[in-house]
Amino acid sequence: MKKAESKVARIENRYIKDTATMKKTRNRRRIALFRRLAFMAIIFAVVGGLLTITYTKQVLALKDKKEKQVQVDKKMVAMKDEEEALNDQIKKLHDDEYIAKLARSEYYLSKDGEIIFNIPEENSKQKE
């Protein structure tokens, strides 16, 4: 159905022209506003996404570093224990009696008149 043609003539005066111009200007401004808002929303979304990605990477890197720190702490404790054992060994090696006992047990050295018997330790190996 076609629109019925109006038989009323439009008045072309200054007020009508100004009103039409204002409507066109409003529509252009409204379209420009929507475009600016859409552009800003896209910019905010991109920046938010980048910030989220950066934050996630930093959290994962921090988690990895904490795990490495735990491993290094465990290794440090083990090395401190080893250091204490070695320091004890050094202190013992300064004692002449300990050195003599060590030489007799490991290198089968004996004092004058001593006889060394080597007893196999099969029972201890079977228990293990």
124 within domain boundaries: no
Instruction: Give strand ranges (E) for 1-128.
Output: none
| Cα–Cα nearest to 106, from 90, 123, 93, 124 | 93
118 within domain boundaries: no
pTM (2 decimals)? 0.51
Confidence of residue 126 (pLDDT cuts 50, 70, 90): low
Which pLDDT value is given to residue 75?
97
Residue matched to tokens 């938010």: 48
120 within domain boundaries: no
Half-sphere exposure of 128 (CA within 13 A, CB side): 5
Helix axes 14-93, 96-107, angle to 10 degrees: 90
- Three-state secondary structure call for residue 114: coil
Which pLDDT value is given to residue 127?
57
55 within domain boundaries: yes
Structural domains counted in the chain: 1
Which pLDDT value is given to residue 1?
52
85 within domain boundaries: yes
How many CB atoms sit inside 10 A of residue 93's CB?
11
83 within domain boundaries: yes
pLDDT tens-digit readout, 21-55? 999 999 999 999 999 999 999 999 999 999 999 99
Print the domain residue range for 55.
13-105
pLDDT tens-digit readout, 70-115? 999 999 999 999 999 999 999 988 988 888 888 777 777 777 777 7
114 within domain boundaries: no
